[in-house]
């Protein structure tokens, strides 16, 4: 499975400009037939314009969802479409969208853990559904958003449901870049799965973002890593046999004793 993960800057509060920029990235980077799945960052249509999100957020049947479906079909790729601000019943959610190569929305996920350090709980509503894996090309996969990475229990639950790869759209700040890298490697090692992240670069409202998007294999090796401050993309071919192999070599899932935890 050939994966491309985008590391991008985001134009604050201008969804249309960000959609156009994303279209151009697809034109430059993705060729039908050479890529199976593309990953985008967190809140990539607006950035963290929290106080203005109630006006910038889109309804679920949005122009952004329409664009993701159009790109998926045009480029014959699955898209883990990062997250966008979605307005539903008067509340704004930080919602991730997954569209398959036939242009069908196969999964959405509302960020569960809202970030106190960024006052997210004052502006966003948390997700209220149990996390689930989704399936693309017969492979079970999981998705979390940024701060969720600090909660190993959500990722373990996805692993127990059979996830072999975990996607992490993010806007992780540079001030905690060390945590970003180590936690991703830890989650890959402890759950013996691929971890693929898409983090933004640039700055907004006094916060510098870390970049350093990553692709980590189920052994914890870093297969690809973005720079701290440049727009770029990482391209890697995932070998899902590797997940089985690591789980055979170190069979942690058979050694768990959850009745004592």
Site residues for ligand AKG per CB under 6 A:
115, 118, 146-147, 150, 171-173, 176, 179
Measured CA to CA, the distance from residue 198 to residue 96 in angstroms comes to: 12
Measured CA to CA, the distance from residue 99 to residue 107 in angstroms comes to: 7
Residue closer to ligand AKG by CB (options 103, 126) is: 126
**Residue 190 has what DSSP assignment?**
H
Residue closer to ligand AKG by CB (options 36, 42) is: 42
- Active-site residue flag, 24: no
Residue closer to ligand AKG by CB (options 76, 190) is: 190
- In angstroms, what is the minimal distance from the CB of 166 to ligand AKG? 15
Measured CA to CA, the distance from residue 252 to residue 90 in angstroms comes to: 44
Q: Give the active site residue among 69, 146, 171, 181.
A: 146
Q: Give the active site residue among 58, 69, 111, 120.
A: 111
Residue closer to ligand AKG by CB (options 131, 246) is: 131
- Active-site residue flag, 111: yes
Cα of 67 vs its chain's centroid, Å: 18
Residue closer to ligand AKG by CB (options 169, 218) is: 169
Cα dist from 44 to 7, 81, 99, 154, 257, whole Å: 10, 9, 16, 23, 40
- The number of residues in the chain equals 261
Cβ atoms of 171 and 41 within 8 Å: the answer is: yes
Q: Which residues contact 98 (CB under 8 A, 6 or more apart)?
A: 78, 79, 80, 81, 105, 106, 107, 108, 134, 136, 143
- In angstroms, what is the minimal distance from the CB of 241 to ligand AKG? 32
Closest CA to 79 of 104, 62, 58: 104
- In angstroms, what is the minimal distance from the CB of 252 to ligand AKG? 25
Measured CA to CA, the distance from residue 133 to residue 206 in angstroms comes to: 35
Tell me the residue ranges of DSSP E strands in the chain: 2-7, 37-39, 78-88, 91-99, 105-110, 134-136, 139-143, 165-170, 194-199, 203-204, 207-208, 214-216, 222-225, 232-237
Residue closer to ligand AKG by CB (options 23, 179) is: 179
Catalytic site residues? 42, 111, 146
């Amino acid at each position: 499975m050939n994966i491309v993960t985008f590391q991008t800057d985001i134009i604050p509060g201008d969804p249309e400009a960000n959609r156009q920029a994303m279209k151009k990235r697809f034109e430059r980077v993705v060729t039908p037939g050479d890529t199976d799945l593309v990953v985008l960052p967190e809140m990539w249509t607006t950035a963290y314009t929290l106080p203005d999100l109630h006006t910038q957020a889109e309804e679920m049947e949005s122009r952004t969802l329409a664009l993701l479906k159009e790109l998926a079909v045009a480029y014959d790729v699955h898209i883990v479409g990062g997250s966008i601000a979605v307005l539903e019943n008067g509340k704004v959610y930080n919602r991730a969208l997954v569209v398959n190569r036939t242009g069908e929305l196969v999964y959405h996920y509302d960020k569960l853990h809202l970030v106190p350090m960024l006052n997210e709980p004052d502006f966003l509503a948390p997700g209220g559904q149990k996390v689930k894996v989704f399936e693309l090309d017969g492979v079970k996969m999981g998705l979390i958003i940024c701060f969720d990475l600090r909660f190993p229990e959500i990722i373990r639950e996805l692993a127990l449901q059979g996830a072999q790869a975990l996607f992490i759209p993010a806007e992780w700040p540079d001030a905690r870049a060390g945590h970003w890298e180590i936690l991703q490697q830890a989650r890959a090692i402890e759950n013996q799965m691929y971890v693929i992240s898409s983090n933004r670069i640039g700055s907004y409202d006094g916060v510098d973002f870390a970049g350093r998007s990553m692709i980590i294999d189920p052994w914890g090796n870093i297969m690809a890593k973005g720079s701290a401050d440049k727009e770029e993309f990482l391209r890697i071919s995932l070998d899902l046999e590797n997940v089985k192999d690591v789980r055979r070599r170190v069979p942690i899932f058979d050694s768990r004793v959850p009745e004592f935890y």
